C-alpha cells in the first residue's frame, strides 16, 4: 500500500500536539499528564498511548477519522507508524490472535459518559471490515453490528451523566475460525438496572425503547398498543424529561425493529415483545388506595388494557396485585391462605411484575442474539467488555453500589496485570528491577465481597435479607447496624446517618441505605409467575418457565450474590485471554465539545493510576515472550534457526538477537522468557521478518508471473499467426519473435504522450512509413490504444520565437469503431491499408502482424464484430479530398521479385511493389517449451531460422526484441540449425506499454 506512508489523518494540522505516547513525557506528574491530554484534546486528537494502553477522551462530537481510509491505513501497520487510534489497538488484537493462536480481550473502563459504548462499536466495526468471509460470515457480521442498536434500545438510558448510558454490563465475544473470519459470537450480560423501569431521578429517562415505541410506532400500532403521550405514563413522567438532544427516537425505533429482523426474531415474538413494553407502561398507571388497612385498585378501568396486552384475565390481575398466597405450616400440615396486601405492598407487587417482565424480555433478546451467532466449536475469540462506568450521584443506591463494585473488580484486573503481575514477573525471571509503589485496590474488593473474617458488605446484606419479612420495614436500619459491627473499623468504610461511605479507588461514594435490602432480595412471588403462566400468548408464557410444584429448598438467590458471582466469572474469563486496555476519560459534565474541566480530568487521571502505569512502563520492558514462541516467530531471520534451531532455546534466541545487531542494553534473557526494552527494537525485528517474507513472496510471484507471461505471449503470437494463416506469405523473422508492443519507449516520450488522454494505455507504438498520393514515403509514429489509432508526424515551426525548431504534430486520429476494413497483399511485404469512412491510409510496418492482432482485438471489443481483412495482390486506397481538388484513388500492384527486400516503382496512379517468395501461407507458430513448431503445412528446415531485421535501424529508445541462441526441444537433441529457444527478454518489459 503505497498510500500508507504518504497519507496521515493529522496532516491537516502540522503543529505537533503534545506527545503521542505518554511514556515519552519529560516529567511524570499528574499535572503533566493532564496538560498533555488537554493539549491533544483541544487539537482534536482524542487518543493517546501509555505503551500498549490506549487513553481515549470523549470529544462529545463526531470525529473525522473513522472512515474506510483509516481502516486501510491501520490494517497491518505497526503501532508506531500512525497516530494513536482505537483501530491500531484493534488491529494489534486481531493480529496477535492469529499469530499466537490465543484469545484476546479488551477491557474498556471509565466513568459513565466517558465514551465506552462508542469505543466498543468502533472495535466491532473495524473487525467486521478487515476480516474476510462468505455469506455465512457476513450474516454473523451483520448480527454483531445489529446487536448494538437492539441492546442499546432495551439496555441504555439517559442519565444526568450521560445521554446514552449503558444500564447493563456486556461482555461480547466475537468468535473466529482458524482463518480469522468471524463465524460466531456470544454475549454475557450483567445486572440490568431494573429499578429504572419503575422510577427515575430528575432529568433522567427510562430505557430508550419506551420512548421509541411512543414516537416511532405506526398509527395502527399505536391503536393496538394503546399508545399515549409520554407524560400520561407514571413510569415515564416522574423525571419530567422525555427528549434527548441529538437522539431521534422515531428513527431509532425503525433501527431497533430492523435489528430484530436481521437477528431472526420471529414476527409474532416481535409483536408480543412490543405488547410487553406497552403493557409495562399501562401497568404503571394502576394505582391503589387504602381501604381499612387493605389496598384496592383505585380505578379498575385501568386494568383492562395491560391485561389485554399481556393476554391475562383482568380479574386475576386485580387479585394478584392486591393479595398474595402464603404457605403456612401447622402441626406438620401445610396449607395455603390468601393474605390481602396493604397499599405499599400492592405498589411493590405491581413494580416487581413490571421489572420482571422487562428483565426477562431483555434476557430473551440476549439469548436470541446468542442463538443466531452460536457455533459448535470455539476456536479463537476477541472479547469486548463494555460495562457501566463508575458512578457518583447525589443519591447513590443499591444499583450504584453494584456498578461500582464491578468497576472496582476491573480496576483490580488492571492493577494485577499491568502493575503487580508485571513487576512479579521480572522478579521470577531474575531480571534486574527496582519496584514501583502503587495503590492495590484488592483491600476495597475484599471489603465488599469477603465471605468471612471479617464478612464483607454483600455477605452481611444477604444475611439480613434472609431474615426479612414481606416488606423492608426496619430491615435497612438493621443492615446499617450489622455493617457497623462487622466492618465499622475498616479504613475504607465509614457510616453516616442515612447509610455508609466506601473509599473506592475512584474516590469516596456515600450510599443511601434506603431500599438496599428490598432491591437485593429481588424476589418475584410465585403468584405473579403463576399469573404470567396463564397468559394466552405463548411468547409471554415462555418467559416464565419455572416449575412451581417443586419443593423450595435453600435461600433464594439475591441480586448482590448474583452480581458477585458474575463479576468473578467475568474476571476468570478475562484472565484466560491476552488483555488490552482502553481507559476512557470524561473531560466535562456539560457534554459539550472542547470544554475541559481541569479538576475532573485530574481526578480521573489519579484514580485510573495513569502515573504509576507510565512509571512501570518506562522502567520496564515493552515486550516479553517465552523462548520457544520467540524462536518460532523470528526463526526465518537466519539459516541457523530456520526451519528449526538445533540446541538450547535460550542460545537460539541469543543468536537471533545478535544476528540483527540489537544493542545488549535493549534486551535481557530471563529464565524462560526474552525481554525487549523499547518498542523500536521490536519493530526492527518485525521489519526484518517482513522483509524476509517479502523476498520469498517476490521469488514466488516472479516465477508465477514469468509462467503466466510466457503462456500469455505464446497465446498472443499464435492468435496473431492465425490472422494471416493461409492468406499471406510470411517473413522468416515474423513467425516466432517476441511481442514487445511499445517500440518507441512511450514512458520516456512526453512529446508523444501529450496527444493521448491521461493514463490512456498504449497497446502498440512503432515508427512506420506512410505513403501519400505521389507514393512518397514519410515517417510517422503509429500508436494504438484501446480508444483509437494515432498518427504523429513532425513539422518545422515557421514563425515565433521557436522558429526553425521541429515540433510533433498529431496528423490523424482514427476511432477504432470508424475503421471499415484492412487490406493486405498475399506476399511477404509489410504494406497494409487502413480503410476508414473519410479516406484510407497506406502504411508499412515490419511489426504489422502484432499491430493487426491487437487492432482486431480492440475492434471486436468495441463493435462486437470481427474486423474485415482482405488479401489481394491488387489493392486500392482512397485519397483525402483537399480544397476544390483531391480525392480519387490509387492502386498498388504486387508482383514476384528477387530476395527479401521490397522494390517499389511508382508510375502515375499505380505503385508496383516487387518482392521475392516468403515462407508458405500455411506457415504458423505453434509453441512448445518456448520453441516454434510448424504444424499446419509443409515447410523447409532452413526456413525455421530467425533472421535479424535488415530494413531499417531503430531509434535508441526502442526496445527491440533480442534474438537468442538456438537449442533443441525437450525429448531429444535436434540439429542446431532447426530449432531455437524462444527468447524471454520480453518478460522484463514493464507492464505499462506492453502489448495486449
Among the listed residues 82, 112, 148, 823, the single catalytic one is: 112
Could you give phi then psi for residue 563, rounded to 5 degrees?
-70, -35
Confidence of residue 510 (pLDDT cuts 50, 70, 90): very high
949 SS3 class:
coil
459 is catalytic: no
| Interval 433-488: pLDDT, tens | 777 777 788 899 999 998 877 899 999 998 888 876 655 557 888 889 999 989 98
Confidence of residue 967 (pLDDT cuts 50, 70, 90): very low
**pLDDT at residue 765 above 90?**
yes
267 is catalytic: no
Do residues 308 and 350 share a domain?
yes
* For helices 598-607 and 30-42, angle between their N-to-C axes, nearest 10 degrees: 120
Give the pLDDT score at 946: 26
| Interval 421-445: pLDDT, tens | 677 777 788 887 777 777 788 899 9
Strands lying side by side in the sheet with 889-896? 874-878, 889-896, 910-915, 903-907
Alpha carbon distance 717, 500 (integer Å): 91
CA-CA-CA-CA torsion for 749, 752, 756, 761, nearest 10 degrees?
-40
Whether residue 423 contacts residue 432, with contact meaning beta carbons closer than 8 Å, is answered with no
113 is catalytic: yes
Alpha carbon distance 821, 818 (integer Å): 9
Whether residue 407 contacts residue 389, with contact meaning beta carbons closer than 8 Å, is answered with yes
Residue 557 domain-assigned?
Answer: no
Do residues 734 and 682 share a domain?
no
Give the pLDDT score at 931: 37
Alpha carbon distance 500, 401 (integer Å): 11
**pLDDT at residue 886 above 50?**
yes
Whether residue 908 contacts residue 895, with contact meaning beta carbons closer than 8 Å, is answered with no
Whether residue 775 contacts residue 911, with contact meaning beta carbons closer than 8 Å, is answered with yes
In this structure, of 7-21, 60-74, 256-270, 647-661, the range with the lowest mean pLDDT score is 7-21
Q: Of 124, 114, 149, 120, which Cα lies nearest the Cα of 37? A: 114
| 115 known member of a binding site | yes
Q: Give residues with Cβ within 8 angstroms of 945, minimum separation 6.
A: 732, 977, 980
Alpha carbon distance 724, 824 (integer Å): 10
117 is catalytic: yes
Q: Of 453, 432, 429, 456, which Cα lies nearest the Cα of 444? A: 456
Alpha carbon distance 327, 650 (integer Å): 71
**pLDDT at residue 945 above 60?**
no
Residue 412 domain-assigned?
Answer: no
Do residues 747 and 859 share a domain?
yes
Instruction: Look up the domain containing 647 and give its range.
Output: 623-690
Confidence of residue 810 (pLDDT cuts 50, 70, 90): very high
Higher pLDDT, 840 or 645: 840
| Interval 158-211: pLDDT, tens | 988 788 888 888 888 989 988 888 888 899 888 788 889 999 988 899 999 999
Confidence of residue 232 (pLDDT cuts 50, 70, 90): very high
| 857 known member of a binding site | no
Do residues 789 and 643 share a domain?
no
| Interval 352-411: pLDDT, tens | 999 999 999 999 999 999 999 888 888 889 999 887 777 787 888 888 898 889 888 888
Give the pLDDT score at 679: 65
Alpha carbon distance 849, 723 (integer Å): 8
* For helices 442-449 and 398-414, angle between their N-to-C axes, nearest 10 degrees: 140
Confidence of residue 996 (pLDDT cuts 50, 70, 90): very low
| 866 known member of a binding site | no
Which CATH number goes with the domain that contains 673? 3.30.70.1590
Could you give phi then psi for residue 903, rounded to 5 degrees?
-115, 125
Q: What percent of the chain has pLDDT over 90?
A: 31
| Interval 120-147: pLDDT, tens | 889 988 988 888 777 778 888 888 888 8
Segment holding 214, helix H or strand E: helix 208-216
Give the pLDDT score at 938: 37
Higher pLDDT, 501 or 557: 501
Residue 879 grid cell:
485519397
| 110 known member of a binding site | yes
| 111 known member of a binding site | yes
Give the pLDDT score at 959: 37
Among the listed residues 152, 173, 181, 391, the single catalytic one is: 391
| 635 known member of a binding site | no
Do residues 682 and 734 share a domain?
no
Give the pLDDT score at 992: 34
912 SS3 class:
strand
Among the listed residues 58, 82, 103, 162, the single catalytic one is: 162
In this structure, of 183-197, 212-226, 596-610, 977-991, the range with the lowest mean pLDDT score is 977-991
Of 640, 664, 690, the last residue of a domain is 690
Among the listed residues 36, 109, 128, 166, the single catalytic one is: 166
Alpha carbon distance 84, 48 (integer Å): 6
Among the listed residues 117, 156, 195, 995, the single catalytic one is: 117
Do residues 675 and 751 share a domain?
no
Alpha carbon distance 659, 324 (integer Å): 80
Among the listed residues 113, 133, 169, 499, the single catalytic one is: 113
* For helices 343-373 and 314-322, angle between their N-to-C axes, nearest 10 degrees: 120
> What does the buried/exposed string (b/e) look like for 335-352 if buried means 16 or more CB atoms within 10 Å of the residue's CB?
eeeeeebbbebbbbbbbb
Confidence of residue 621 (pLDDT cuts 50, 70, 90): confident
Give the pLDDT score at 669: 86
Give the pLDDT score at 473: 59
Residue 387 domain-assigned?
Answer: yes
391 is catalytic: yes
| Interval 248-286: pLDDT, tens | 999 999 999 999 999 999 999 999 999 999 999 999 999
In this structure, of 704-718, 907-921, 926-940, the range with the lowest mean pLDDT score is 926-940
Give the pLDDT score at 223: 92
**C-alpha radius of gyration, the chain, whole number:** 42
971 is catalytic: no
| 629 known member of a binding site | no
Is the peptide bond between 287 and the residue preceding it cis, with omega within 30 degrees of 0? no
Of 668, 690, 712, the last residue of a domain is 690
Residue 282 domain-assigned?
Answer: yes
Give the pLDDT score at 308: 93
**pLDDT at residue 954 above 50?**
no
For the segment 946-967, the average pLDDT, to the nearest whole number, is 34
Alpha carbon distance 154, 171 (integer Å): 16
Confidence of residue 888 (pLDDT cuts 50, 70, 90): confident
Higher pLDDT, 932 or 475: 475
Do residues 208 and 59 share a domain?
yes
H helices within 729-835, ranges in order? Answer: 750-753
Do residues 270 and 136 share a domain?
yes
The total domain count for the chain is: 3
Among the listed residues 52, 92, 147, 165, the single catalytic one is: 165
**pLDDT at residue 756 above 70?**
yes
Residue 316 domain-assigned?
Answer: yes
Give the pLDDT score at 101: 86
In this structure, of 459-463, 472-476, 640-644, 901-905, the range with the lowest mean pLDDT score is 472-476
Do residues 773 and 651 share a domain?
no
Residue 373 domain-assigned?
Answer: yes
Residue 259 domain-assigned?
Answer: yes
Residue 548 domain-assigned?
Answer: no
Which CATH number goes with the domain that contains 733? 2.30.29.30
Give the pLDDT score at 701: 87
Query: 158 pairs with which residues across the strands?
Result: none
**Three-state DSSP string of 425-449:** HHHHCCCCCCCCCCCCCHHHHHHHH
For the segment 302-317, the average pLDDT, to the nearest whole number, is 92
Do residues 742 and 674 share a domain?
no
Do residues 900 and 779 share a domain?
yes
Give the pLDDT score at 552: 57
For 727, how many CA atoms within 13 A lie in the half-sphere containing its CB?
A: 14
| 117 known member of a binding site | yes
Q: Give residues with Cβ within 8 angstroms of 647, minimum separation 6.
A: none
For the segment 806-816, the average pLDDT, to the nearest whole number, is 90
Do residues 672 and 729 share a domain?
no
Give the pLDDT score at 330: 55
Whether residue 338 contacts residue 324, with contact meaning beta carbons closer than 8 Å, is answered with yes
Whether residue 873 contacts residue 855, with contact meaning beta carbons closer than 8 Å, is answered with no
Of 853, 885, 915, the last residue of a domain is 915
**pLDDT at residue 934 above 70?**
no
**pLDDT at residue 88 above 90?**
yes
Alpha carbon distance 810, 494 (integer Å): 94
Q: What percent of the chain has pLDDT over 70?
A: 87
Q: What is the mean pLDDT of the chain?
A: 82
768 SS3 class:
strand
Amino acid at each position: 500500500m503505497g498510500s500508507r506512508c504518504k497519507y496521515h489523518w493529522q496532516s491537516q494540522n502540522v503543529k505537533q500536539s503534545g506527545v503521542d505516547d505518554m511514556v515519552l513525557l519529560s516529567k511524570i506528574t499528574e499535572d503533566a499528564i493532564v496538560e498533555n491530554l488537554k493539549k491533544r484534546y483541544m487539537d482534536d486528537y482524542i487518543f493517546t498511548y501509555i505503551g500498549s494502553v490506549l487513553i481515549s477522551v470523549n470529544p462529545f462530537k463526531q470525529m473525522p477519522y473513522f472512515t474506510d481510509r483509516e481502516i486501510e491505513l491501520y490494517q497491518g501497520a505497526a503501532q508506531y507508524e500512525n497516530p494513536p487510534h482505537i483501530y491500531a489497538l484493534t488491529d494489534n488484537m486481531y493480529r496477535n490472535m492469529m499469530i499466537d493462536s490465543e484469545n484476546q480481550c479488551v477491557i474498556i473502563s471509565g466513568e459513565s459518559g466517558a465514551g465506552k459504548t462508542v469505543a466498543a462499536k468502533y472495535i466491532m466495526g473495524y473487525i467486521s471490515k478487515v476480516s474476510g468471509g462468505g455469506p455465512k460470515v457476513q450474516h454473523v457480521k451483520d448480527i454483531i453490528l445489529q446487536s448494538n442498536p437492539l441492546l442499546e434500545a432495551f439496555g441504555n438510558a439517559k442519565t444526568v451523566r450521560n445521554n446514552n448510558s449503558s444500564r447493563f454490563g456486556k461482555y461480547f465475544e466475537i468468535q473466529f475460525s482458524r482463518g480469522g473470519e468471524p463465524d460466531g459470537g456470544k454475549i454475557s450480560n450483567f445486572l440490568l438496572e431494573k429499578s429504572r423501569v419503575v422510577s427515575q431521578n430528575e432529568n433522567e429517562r427510562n430505557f430508550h425503547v419506551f420512548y421509541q415505541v411512543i414516537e416511532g410506532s405506526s398509527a395502527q400500532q399505536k391503536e393496538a398498543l394503546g399508545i399515549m403521550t409520554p407524560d400520561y405514563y407514571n413510569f415515564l413522567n416522574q423525571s419530567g424529561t422525555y427528549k434527548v438532544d441529538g437522539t431521534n427516537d422515531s428513527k431509532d425505533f425503525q433501527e431497533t425493529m430492523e435489528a430484530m429482523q436481521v437477528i431472526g426474531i420471529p414476527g409474532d415474538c416481535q409483536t408480543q415483545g412490543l405488547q410487553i413494553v406497552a403493557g409495562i407502561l399501562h401497568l404503571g398507571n394502576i394505582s391503589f388506595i387504602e381501604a381499612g388497612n387493605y389496598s384496592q385498585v383505585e380505578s379498575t378501568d385501568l386494568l383492562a388494557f395491560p391485561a389485554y396486552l399481556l393476554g391475562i384475565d383482568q380479574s386475576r390481575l386485580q387479585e394478584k396485585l392486591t393479595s398474595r398466597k402464603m404457605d403456612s405450616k401447622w402441626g406438620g400440615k401445610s396449607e395455603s391462605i390468601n393474605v390481602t396486601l396493604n397499599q405499599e405492598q400492592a405498589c411493590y407487587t405491581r413494580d416487581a411484575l413490571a421489572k420482571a417482565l422487562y428483565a426477562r424480555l431483555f434476557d430473551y433478546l440476549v439469548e436470541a442474539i446468542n442463538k443466531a451467532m452460536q457455533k459448535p466449536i470455539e476456536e479463537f475469540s476477541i472479547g469486548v467488555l463494555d460495562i457501566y462506568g463508575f458512578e457518583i450521584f447525589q443519591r447513590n443506591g443499591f444499583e450504584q453500589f453494584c456498578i461500582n463494585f464491578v468497576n472496582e473488580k476491573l480496576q483490580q484486573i488492571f492493577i494485577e496485570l499491568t502493575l503487580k503481575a508485571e513487576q512479579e514477573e521480572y522478579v521470577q525471571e531474575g531480571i534486574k528491577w527496582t519496584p514501583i509503589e502503587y495503590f492495590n485496590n484488592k483491600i476495597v474488593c475484599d471489603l465488599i465481597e469477603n465471605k468471612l473474617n471479617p464478612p464483607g458488605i454483600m455477605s452481611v446484606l444477604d444475611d439480613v435479607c434472609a431474615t426479612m419479612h414481606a416488606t423492608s420495614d426496619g430491615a435497612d436500619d438493621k443492615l446499617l447496624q450489622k455493617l457497623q459491627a462487622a466492618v465499622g473499623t475498616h479504613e475504607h468504610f465509614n457510616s453516616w446517618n442515612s447509610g455508609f461511605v466506601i473509599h473506592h479507588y475512584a474516590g469516596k461514594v456515600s450510599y443511601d441505605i434506603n431500599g438496599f435490602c428490598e432491591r437485593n432480595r429481588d424476589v418475584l412471588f410465585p403468584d405473579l409467575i403463576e399469573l404470567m403462566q396463564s397468559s394466552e400468548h405463548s411468547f409471554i408464557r415462555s418467559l416464565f418457565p419455572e416449575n412451581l410444584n417443586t419443593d423450595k429448598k435453600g435461600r433464594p438467590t439475591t441480586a448482590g450474590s448474583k452480581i458477585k458471582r458474575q463479576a468473578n466469572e467475568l474476571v476468570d474469563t478475562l484472565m484466560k485471554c491476552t488483555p488490552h486496555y482502553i481507559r476512557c476519560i470524561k473531560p466535562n459534565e456539560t457534554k459539550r465539545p472542547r470544554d475541559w474541566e481541569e479538576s475532573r480530568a485530574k481526578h480521573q487521571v489519579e484514580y485510573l493510576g495513569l502515573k504509576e502505569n507510565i512509571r512501570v512502563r518506562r522502567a520496564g520492558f515493552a515486550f516479553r515472550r517465552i523462548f520457544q514462541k520467540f524462536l518460532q516467530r523470528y526463526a526465518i531471520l537466519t539459516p541457523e534457526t530456520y526451519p528449526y534451531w538445533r540446541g538450547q532455546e535460550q542460545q537460539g534466541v541469543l543468536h537471533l538477537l545478535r544476528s540483527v545487531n540489537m544493542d545488549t542494553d535493549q534486551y535481557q534473557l530471563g529464565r524462560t522468557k526474552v525481554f525487549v526494552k523499547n518498542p523500536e527494537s521490536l519493530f526492527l525485528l518485525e521489519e526484518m521478518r517482513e522483509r524476509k517474507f517479502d523476498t520469498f513472496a517476490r521469488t514466488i510471484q516472479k516465477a508465477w508471473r514469468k509462467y503466466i507471461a510466457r503462456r500469455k505471449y505464446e497465446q498472443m503470437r499464435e492468435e496473431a499467426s492465425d490472422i494471416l494463416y493461409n492468406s499471406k506469405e510470411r517473413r522468416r523473422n515474423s513467425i516466432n519473435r517476441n511481442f514487445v508492443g511499445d517500440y518507441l519507449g512511450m514512458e520516456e516520450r512526453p512529446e508523444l504522450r501529450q496527444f493521448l488522454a491521461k493514463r490512456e494505455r498504449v497497446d502498440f507504438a512503432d515508427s512506420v512509413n506512410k505513403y501519400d498520393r505521389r507514393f512518397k514515403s514519410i515517417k510517422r509514429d503509429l500508436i494504438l490504444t484501446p480508444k483509437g489509432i494515432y498518427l504523429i508526424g513532425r513539422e518545422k515551426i515557421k514563425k515565433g520565437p521557436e522558429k526553425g525548431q521541429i515540433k510533433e504534430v498529431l496528423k490523424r486520429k482514427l476511432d477504432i469503431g470508424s475503421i471499415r476494413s484492412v487490406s493486405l497483399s498475399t506476399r511477404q511485404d509489410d504494406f497494409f491499408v487502413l480503410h476508414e469512412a473519410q479516406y484510407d491510409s497506406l502504411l508499412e510496418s515490419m511489426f504489422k502482424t502484432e499491430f493487426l492482432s491487437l487492432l482486431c482485438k480492440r475492434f471486436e471489443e468495441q463493435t462486437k464484430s470481427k474486423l474485415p481483412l482482405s488479401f489481394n495482390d491488387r489493392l486500392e486506397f482512397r485519397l483525402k479530398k483537399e480544397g476544390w481538388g483531391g480525392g480519387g484513388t490509387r492502386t498498388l500492384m504486387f508482383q514476384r521479385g528477387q530476395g527479401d527486400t521490397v522494390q517499389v516503382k511508382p508510375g502515375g496512379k499505380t505503385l508496383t511493389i516487387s518482392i521475392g517468395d516468403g515462407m508458405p501461407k500455411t506457415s504458423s507458430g505453434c509453441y512448445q517449451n518456448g520453441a516454434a513448431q510448424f504444424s499446419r503445412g509443409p515447410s523447409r528446415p532452413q526456413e525455421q531460422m530467425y533472421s535479424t531485421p535488415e530494413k531499417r535501424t531503430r531509434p535508441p529508445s526502442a526496445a527491440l526484441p533480442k534474438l537468442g541462441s538456438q537449442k533443441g526441444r525437450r525429448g531429444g537433441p535436434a540439429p542446431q540449425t532447426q530449432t531455437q529457444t524462444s527468447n524471454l527478454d520480453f518478460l522484463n518489459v514493464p507492464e505499462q506499454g506492453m502489448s495486449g
